Structure 1
Amino acid sequence: MIIVSYDISDDKLRAKFAKYLSRFGHRIQYSVFEIDNSPRIVNNIVNDLKNKYESKFSQTDSVIIFKMSSSCEVMRFGYAKNDEKDFLIIT
């Protein structure tokens, strides 16, 4: 899994970038996406950032990609607890 967090000041560019990221994963916070980690997807995102988006960023814009390893522990609270992939309820 990778986590992509962004702070983009331009509304139109921010909306375009969020729509782009939604092709690969899902939003877990307003400016944070969780994306299944595969080398191809990570490379696509990084290449598109460099080639399509970075030149449009202002000095205050930022994008941070956190590559989570399989040994990382993810703790979820509140509504996020329901976001697990293998969530099963038996009544």
Structure 2
Amino acid sequence: MFIVSYDISNDKLRTKFAKYLSRFGHRLQYSVFQIDNSSRIIDNIIQDLKNNFEKKFTQEDSVMIFKLSSSCEIIRFGYAKNDEKDFFIIE
């Protein structure tokens, strides 16, 4: 699992980056995405960051990618507790 956190000052670029990340994972917080894919996917994201986004960043912008191992423990509270459970809606 990977966590991508970003702080981008330009509204248009921030929106474009969020839409880009939503193709690979889901939003945990406003500027934080969880990506449950392979290392190949995160490598592609890093390449796209270097080739397409980084040149548009200012000194105020930052993107951080956290590579979490399978042994990492995630403790959830509040609404986030629902993320670790599969639930079904039957109509």
Note whether the superposition's TM-score is higher than 0.5: yes
TM range (shorter): over 0.9
For 1:87 and 1:81, locate their aligned partners in 2 and report how far apart those are by CA, in whole Å. 11
The question of 1:76 aligning with 2:76 is answered yes
Gaps of 5+ in 1: none
State the one-letter code of the partner of 2:58: S
In 2, Cα distance between equivalents of 1:65 and 1:30: 15
Which residue matches 2:86?
87
Match for residue 65 of structure 1?
65
SS in 1 for 2:71: coil
- Structure 1: how far apart are the matches of 2:75 and 2:86? 14
Aligned mates of 1:7, 1:22 — CA distance in 2: 16
Q: CA deviation at 1:88?
A: 4.2
Give the RMSD, CA atoms, in angstroms.
1.2
Which residue in 2 is equivalent to 1:7?
A: 7
**In the TM superposition, what is the alpha-carbon distance from 1:60 to its structure 2 partner?**
0.6
Task: Please give the secondary structure, in 2, of the residue aligned with 1:75.
Answer: coil
Q: Which residue of 1 aligns with 2:32?
A: 32
Q: State the percentage of identical aligned residues.
A: 74
Q: What runs of 5+ residues in structure 2 fail to find an aligned partner?
A: none
> Equivalents in 1 of 2:74, 2:43: separation in Å?
23
Q: Which amino acid aligns with 1:83?
A: D
1:17 corresponds to:
17
